[in-house]
Chains A and B, each alone.
Chain A
């Protein structure tokens, strides 16, 4: 780990210890895997790439890590010398035994998304929701050090999008664009990125992993890039056209741009996640596009960002979570447009008292890539 990662891990651990004390928890058992490694990263400073892992966090003792992959165990011993790491071919059983050996201590198990059946069926099952909520509260509002990491990730997202624009050329397959972007991120020391894209016209209803389809003139090319710095993900969504945009594409852009601006203007301390979604959706409804902000065509109008690429809160009209300072979000009115196809446009923001700070800086425009 580098210095900033060490500092982040120490700071999170201190906050967690205070929260555990407040909740009367002596030992927190945190489950994770490559799909849900966010809680483990928060609590134990590790990002799991393979297999299952369980961290046993005691307030005043070094954390213990039980992990399924021998290779991962070996690297965590080097990367995190303060952790007591053990490789176990049956990590769930080993964790069950470790919990049993803790005896009369007050133990809690989290997070709900990653706790396995066998452990949940045991004596700690009834406390999963409460322990998960405790972690969620800690992870929603970012500390200054976390904001610094998020800010660096947002800057990297901007740079990554510039690489994507260069990569998007007629005749190239979709997966070549991702290859260029990933190569760029690795060259900047960024180990992880979530990226999906779409290319084509009205037939395109969403984004997906890259296919073998080759880009053609007139394509609308969408992407969301989500690089990770010190474990924290920031995201950018933009759309470009191969060649000159059509009038319909220009008209569509004005709708999405207005929706993004309204959404960002709605982000402020005290507003709800629903308010931000509603501000974006009202723009579509006013333009006669109300059908396209339903679940038939889109998922969310943005979401939380942090140690997970798709965190709380989901920006949906029925979500009443109140925004607080130093929450970090992507606001994106991404959805299908009946004249031009799927269209994306979004920026990463940090909630502040009177509004929000927009951290991605790529111009909000419908980019046009010249056809050679």
Chain B
């Protein structure tokens, strides 16, 4: 559940920016002859609604209704007394109480779509059944179409407002990583410091994963309980600031930083900069590079729907999906070095055709 700072600064995210994003969606809707678009949100899938309205559910569920004109309407399963809070942190038209989201949506469509019109649903396949069922059984049940591609087409590249938020999220993460005590012996000690630092810096959420002993296993884990830290360990911090997520991964050595890690970090930068909208692959290696190690695994993630980050390209699948230059993305890389594994991760702005990507910080 979200329990960090949730607030809306009109300076950081001006209403006009949110209105512009909604207008772009509405333009696409008109072109696609959609009478309405429905976007489900929960704290597990908050990003599409947050991008349009700045609303992030700390728990519970809601459904955003976007008509071809006018401000979006939120059908919220939250109790009425939370509506003032919802309005204080988001830019919405009406907020309606909807303990049963599906029925409320069916009723809303009945009121506002007198003619049979196509109803777009972001990620229709994934729409929770209690929300979908009443709509399916209503007079509009046959009108549902998937609007995932339509939304993705307008979601990236990132605008300057989103890039600033991502930069702030990345700074929060880096500051938290800098706060790791040099003598930390246990995972619990480390995680406690990370959480305190990130949340005191205004993180909306922080999800840490940890490989507590890199020599034993390089898999990043969510720890329940505790673990001893090895001489070398790795930390991945996924941090949200005002609904914008970044992932940053660092290796930590309790001894002097191994020389191989410096080479690995340089290699990471080279690889990141080579990525662009026409090349979402890590291969071939940079010509003439003498950087150490072999690529063990990598992912490039971005936000283009309701999940905060989803995979665009990875070493595990041959064909990446398309992503335009200027997109906000996160590269995570694992290298096998002669002296053990190395993990790194950074957010970046994807380069356009022929242009290098830029690391965010």
Contacts and interface: CB of A to CB of B under 8 A. Distances in A.
A296 to B, nearest CB: 7
A210 B5 contact: yes
Nearest to B312: A89
Contacts of A298: 79, 81
A5 B189 CA distance: 21
Contacts of B132: 117, 120
Given A116-B125, A175-B202, A180-B196, A309 B1 contact: yes
Contact of A299 (B79, B128, B196, B200): B79
A34 B125 contact: no
A182 B195 contact: yes
A52 interface: yes
B85 A70 contact: no
Contacts of B354: none
Interface string A172-183: 000110111011
B223 A191 contact: yes
B150 interface: no
A367 interface: no
A2 interface: yes
Contacts of B133: 120
Interface string A96-122: 000000000000000011111110110
B129 A296 contact: no
B81 A297 contact: yes
Contact of A70 (B126, B195, B316): B316
Interface stretch (B20-28, B42-50, B264-272, B279-287): B42-50
A186 interface: yes
Interface stretch (A201-209, A245-253, A323-331): A201-209
B126 A117 contact: yes
B44 A187 contact: no
A175 B307 contact: no
B207 A116 contact: no
B1 A194 contact: yes
A222 B220 CA distance: 36
B17 interface: no
B58 A116 contact: no
A93 B123 CA distance: 13
Interface string A308-341: 0110000000000000000000000000100000
Interface in B290-322: 299, 307-311, 314, 316-317
Contacts of B7: 211-212
Contacts of B160: none
B126 to A, nearest CB: 5
B11 interface: no
B195 A183 contact: yes
B75 to A, nearest CB: 17
A79 interface: yes
Interface in B61-118: 61, 79-82, 84-85
Contacts of A75: 209, 219-222
Contacts of A115: 128-129
B324 interface: no
Interface in B200-236: 200, 202, 207, 209, 217, 219-226, 236
A78 B219 contact: yes
B253 to A, nearest CB: 22
A71 B79 CA distance: 35
Contacts of A231: 224
Residue with the greatest number of chain A CB neighbours at <10 A, chosen from B59, B192, B207, B222 = B222
B4 interface: yes
A74 B341 CA distance: 15
A347 interface: no
A162 interface: no
A324 B187 CA distance: 39
A116 B44 CA distance: 14
B130 interface: yes
A50 interface: yes
Interface string A28-59: 00000111100000000001011110000000
Interface string A202-226: 0001101111100000000000000
Contacts of B79: 206, 295, 298-299
Interface of A: 1-2, 5, 33-36, 47, 49-52, 68, 70-71, 74-75, 77-79, 87, 89, 92-93, 112-118, 120-121, 125, 128, 175-176, 178-180, 182-184, 186-189, 191-196, 205-206, 208-212, 230-231, 295-299, 309-310, 336
18 contacts: A49-B222, A50-B307, A68-B307, A116-B128, A117-B124, A128-B129, A176-B199, A178-B3, A194-B3, A196-B58, A205-B81, A208-B6, A210-B3, A212-B5, A231-B224, A295-B79, A296-B81, A297-B81
Given A68-B307, A74-B220, 4 more contacts: A33-B44, A52-B126, A116-B125, A183-B199
